[in-house]
Chains A and B, each alone.
Chain A
Amino acid sequence: MKTKRDQPDFGYLSKALNAGAGLASAAVIASFFLLSTVRAQDATKTDEMIRFEGYPGAPEVEVVPRKDELFFFPCDQCHASMEPNPEIRPLDTMHDTGIDHGRGRIWCLSCHDFEKRDYLRTLLGEPVDFDDAYIVCGGCHANRHKDWAFGVHGKRVANWAGTRTQYNCTHCHNAHSPAIPARPPKPPPPVRAGLKRERDADHGESSTNSTEQE
């Protein structure tokens, strides 16, 4: 049975801990003030901000160019002589595709550069070539972008070894309506020659593709 006499004396230890805690908090508060002043100075220097330079460990990828596939490209053929209008409004004539992307959270100039119409833009307003459209998509769809950077989303073409050639996002996804539309399937498998299936093929119910893409 333990008596009070047997318990070690923690008195000195607790006093030391209290003193230590007090010193530490003082140090933290002091450094906070110091750093904030330092930071406040840095906030004005945008070139020292952390910028996205790809995912660490992602392999080198050759992206199949898109510009040759764009019908209206280069856009500046017309837009160089037009006054850019930043007002968010529905468009008409050549651009009345409408936008089925983001449920009203974005519009044309969210991705297209305001002045240089031959370029797209990142969220930070930097111009992006149409052949690098994946940079734009990745600004919002980061998980997909990372998957794509490592080759597990999207499509690799030509070879499984050697140079990695992949499709751009816009090769499969129409940026203005990115959901992959439903389409008829190829015919069901045949039955061995001379035999017949007893049931009709399952025609199922057709449905519009209502699965949301991330």
Chain B
Amino acid sequence: MSDKADSKEEKNKFEMARRSFLRGIGMSAAATAATPAWGGQTFSDAFADFFQKHYQRMSAEEIEEALERIERKASLRYGVKIDCANTPPQEGVVFGYAINISRCQGYRDCVDACVKENNLGRDSQVQYIRVLQMDRGDTNLEHSEHYYDPAEVPVEGKYYMPVQCMQCDDPPCVKACPVEATWMEPDGVVVVDYDWCIGCRYCMTACPYWARHFNWTEPEIPAEEMNPDTHFLGNRPRPRGVVEKCHFCLQRTRKGRLPACQEACPTGARIFGNLLDPDSEIRYVLANKQVFRLKEDLGTEPKFWYYSD
């Protein structure tokens, strides 16, 4: 009988030891999950990041959590508090753009504004807009000069043509992506899920307008220059190793504002608006001006026109 009592006591001791052991594991797991690892990010955040679903498959709740993770990551990486939103596209809106190449003087104010608005890495070469200096009378892009740097623009005998993502209606990049990380949203903008892209760069090969750019390195953005109003599919800080491109400033345009490039242009060469609104300026341009699109013969159906007057 004492054996029985002894064994019961032993059993209790064992039970208590087991419980405290499990409790210890549980606590250290929770502590580990919360402790910074992976360059400062918590384990639970890193875990959730790794298994994050494709944007189009996430529930509203999951997107909210993803937005918060992005904000936390930005705070860790850049020391800035940002706000990441997921503004949906407006109904009855398809964005279009037109550039008046008689007005463009080649200032590159648009390029500069885009870099600042969209949190582009200052040293990573990524610039969504590239302004080409062309010889007057010549439309051959191979004769263009990308790195013009005269004392003053415009240079005699040249004209200037900014090129950025054309937001094609039949985008070859969307077809190319093996993981569907890029697609066209209902408001016509071709977007990238930066947390889904695997960085194979096949879309860059497929784009006829050299509009897609790659983060060869981690983007460097000075904290004081960070734009805190961001969008998940737009200008939120991007990681290394993914492709990005012009998204018509989703974070602004989905709220009714004009894109940064249009605002920055001092000559009013840029016209932006809703292609589905018959009274918009862009529709007036298409109906009344001599518009053309680049590489029309490739059938990509860009939503980006050029005209001169």
User: Is A in direct contact with B (CB under 8 Å) within the complex?
Assistant: yes
Q: Please name the residue on chain B nearest to A190 by beta carbon.
A: B125
Q: What is B's interface to A at a CB cutoff of 8 Å?
A: 90, 93, 100, 105-109, 111-112, 123-125, 127, 130, 133, 145-156, 158, 216-217, 253, 256-258, 262-263, 265-268, 271-274, 277, 279-281, 284-285, 288-289, 309
Interface pair B106/A172, CB less than 8 Å apart: no
CB neighbours of A189 from chain B (8 A): 111, 125, 127, 130, 146-147
Quick one: given A160-B274, A193-B124, are A183 and B152 in contact (CB under 8 Å)? yes
Query: B interface, by DSSP: helix, strand, loop or mixed?
Result: loop
Is the pair B150, A185 in contact by a Cβ cutoff of 8 Å? yes
How many A residues have CB within 8 A of the partner chain? 43
Instruction: Give the Cβ gap from A30 to chain B, nearest Cβ, in Å.
Output: 43
Inter-chain contact A202/B266, CB cutoff 8 Å: no
Complex interface: chain B residues within 8 A of A180 (CB): 105, 267
**Contact in complex: B123, A190 (CB < 8 Å):** yes
User: Which of the 9-residue segments A70-78, A109-117, A128-136, A204-212 touches chain B?
Assistant: A204-212
Known contacts A192-B125, A211-B154; A160 and B268 CB within 8 A of each other = no
A113 and B168 CA atoms in complex are apart in Å by: 51
Q: Give Cα A201 to B93, complex, Å.
A: 41
Interface of A is mostly: loop
Which residues of chain A are within 8 angstroms of B111 by Cβ–Cβ distance? Answer: 186, 189
**Chain A, residue nearest B213 (CB):** A192
State in angstroms the CA–CA spacing of A195 and B88 once bound together. 39
A211 neighbours in B (Cβ, 8 Å): 154
Residue A119 is within 8 A (CB to CB) of chain B in the complex = no
B262 proximity list for chain A (CB < 8 A):
156
- Cβ-neighbour of A207 out of B109, B148, B156, B265 (below 8 A): B156
Pairwise interchain contact B281-A172, C-beta atoms closer than 8 A = no
**Contact, CB under 8 Å: A201 / B272:** no
Partner among B152, B257, B258, B279 whose Cβ is within 8 Å of the Cβ of A184:
B152
Given contacts A180-B267, A199-B147, 9 further A-B contacts (CB under 8 A): A151-B284, A152-B281, A156-B268, A158-B257, A160-B257, A183-B153, A184-B151, A185-B108, A202-B148
Smallest CB gap from B259: residue in A? A160
- In the bound assembly, the distance between CA atoms of A30 and B155 in angstroms comes to 63
Tell me if B257 and A206 are in contact (CB < 8 A).
Answer: no
Residues of B within 8 A of A201 (CB): 147-149
Are A185 and B263 in contact, with the CB atoms below 8 A?
Answer: no
Expressed in whole angstroms, the minimum distance between the Cβ of A127 and any Cβ of chain B is 27
Q: In whole angstroms, what is the CA distance A180 to B274 when docked?
A: 29
Chain A residues near B266 (CB, 8 Å)? Answer: 172
